[in-house]
Amino acid sequence: MADLSDLAKLCHPFPERVIHRNPSGGGSYVKHSTVEQRILDVLRTCRPVAR
């Protein structure tokens, strides 16, 4: 299970190079696969929480 410092890593903005503009003019987005990879990277580095 992740502690708060691990979960805080998810709050950092994505780099500009992975942010795309919606061609239909609906704003910007980050591909789902990029978001998934960030979550997996954070969860893989989480320290176990003592119970």
pLDDT tens-digit profile of 2-51?
677 777 888 889 999 999 999 888 899 999 999 999 988 888 876 665 56
Q: Decide: 40 and 2 in contact? Cβ < 8 Å.
A: no
The answer to the question of residue 9 being in a domain is: yes
pTM (predicted TM-score): 0.71
1 burial via Cβ count (<10 Å: 0-12, 13-18, 19+) = exposed
The answer to the question of residue 29 being in a domain is: yes
Residue-number span of the structural domain to which 19 is assigned: 4-44
Q: Give the per-residue pLDDT at 42.
A: 84
Query: If you search the block for the tokens 């709050």, which residue do you land on?
Result: 11
The answer to the question of residue 15 being in a domain is: yes
The answer to the question of residue 51 being in a domain is: no
**Cα-Cα-Cα-Cα dihedral of 7, 9, 11, 17, to 10°?**
-140
The answer to the question of residue 25 being in a domain is: yes
The answer to the question of residue 50 being in a domain is: no
Q: Give the per-residue pLDDT at 18.
A: 96
Q: Give the per-residue pLDDT at 48.
A: 64
| Closest among 48, 51, 26, 44 to 10, alpha carbons compared | 44
Q: Give the per-residue pLDDT at 33.
A: 96
Q: Give the per-residue pLDDT at 21.
A: 93
The count of structural domains within the chain is 1
